[in-house]
A and B are shown apart, each in its own frame.
Chain A
Amino acid sequence: MIPKQVRKILQLLLIKSKTGKVNWLSAADLGVESRSEEDYSVITPDATVNLWKNKNDSRIYGRILNSKGISIFSFDSSDDENDSKLLNSLFDEARTSALKTDETLEGLLDFLEKNLKAESVIGEPSLRDISK
C-alpha cells in the first residue's frame, strides 16, 4: 500500500495533470531507451516522479528520485484497489501529456474538417511515387 504522504503527492499530481499543466516526459524525451513498454517522468526542481508499465504486465510501477537521482521510494499498483485506481488514472494522464495525444487528435480533426470539401488530395504520396 502506498504511504499517505506519497499518495497525497500522486493525488495532487493527478489533479494538476488533469488541467493539462504538467509536462510528462517519455523515456525518449530524456534521451534514453526504456526497458519498459511505457515510461513517463515528471521533473520538478528537486525530485522526479517516474511511472512505468512492463510488457505483459497490467501493473503500474513507480518511484520517486531525489535531487541526486537516487530512488527514495518505490511503489506499484498491485496491493490496494484505491492505489491501483489512482496510479491508472495518473498513468493515463502521463501518457496523454507525454505523447501529446489530445493535441495530435485535435490537430488531425481540424485538418480533416478543413479539407473535407476541398478538391486536393490529403496524405503524402510514397517516395516511390514522387520519384516517378
Chain B
Amino acid sequence: MSDIWKWIDENSGVLSIILSLIGFIILAIQTRKARSAAESARLATEDVIRSVSHIDTISDLARIRSEMNNIQLALRGGRYEAALLHAQSIREGLSQLRSRKGFESDKMRAQIQLMATSLRKLQDNLELKLDDPEFALSVSGINSNLSEYSVIISGWMEEMRFSSGGLQK
C-alpha cells in the first residue's frame, strides 16, 4: 500500500496533467454539443422566419394581383377615382417587394420598375380624365396590359410557393 502512495506521490505531476487533459476534453465535448444545439436552434429560427417571410410575400403578391383586378373593374365601371387609388396602392405594394428575398436581382427590380412606370403613366392619364371627361382613355388596352401584369405576378407567386419548400404539402 505504501508503494502505491509512494508511486502516486512521485508521479502526481504527470497524473494532474492527465486529469486536466481528460477534464479539458470532456469540457470541449460538452461545449461543442451545447454550441451545435444553439446553432440548430438558430437555424430553425431562421427557417421559420424565412417561411413566414415567404408567406408574407405571397400574400402581398396576391393583394397586388387583386388590386389589378380592382382597377380593371373600376375602369369598366367608369370609376376613375377608384382606379387611381388602386393604382397607387399597387405602386406602394410593388415598391415593398424590392427588399424581399427573390426580388433583389436587377432583372426582377427592372420588371417591378416597368410596372411602376406603367402604373404611374396610367395614373397621369386617370388624373387627366378626371380633370377633363372628354379625354379619351382606352379601357380595353389598359385592361389587357393589366391582365399581362397579373399573369406575371401569378408566375412570381408560383415561384415563391415552390421555392419556400413545403407550402404545397
Question: A residues near B, CB below 8 A?
Answer: 27, 30-35, 41, 43-48, 50, 65, 67-71
Contacts and interface: CB of A to CB of B under 8 A. Distances in A.
Nearest to A34: B121
Interface of B: 91-92, 95, 98, 106-107, 109-110, 112-114, 116-122, 124-125, 128, 135-138, 141-142, 144-146, 148
Contacts of A70: 120
Contacts of A46: 98, 109, 113
Contact of B116 (A32, A33, A35, A67): A67
Q: Main SS of the interface on chain A?
A: loop
B33 to A, nearest CB: 46
B113 A45 contact: yes
B138 A48 contact: no
A35 B125 contact: yes
A67 B98 contact: yes
A33 B113 contact: no
A31 B145 contact: yes
B120 A65 contact: yes
Contacts of B107: 45
Given A31-B141, A32-B145, A65 B118 contact: no
Given A43-B117, A50-B117, A32 B122 contact: yes
Given A65-B116, A67-B95, A68-B116, A45 B148 contact: no
B113 A32 contact: no
A33 B138 CA distance: 7
Contacts of B124: 35
B148 A69 contact: no
Nearest to B138: A33
Contacts of B120: 65, 69-71
Given A31-B142, A44-B113, A46-B109, A69 B98 contact: no
Contacts of A27: 121
B148 A31 contact: yes
Given A32-B121, A46-B113, A68-B92, 18 more contacts: A30-B118, A31-B145, A31-B148, A32-B118, A32-B125, A32-B141, A32-B142, A32-B145, A33-B136, A43-B113, A45-B110, A46-B109, A48-B116, A48-B117, A65-B116, A65-B120, A67-B113, A68-B116
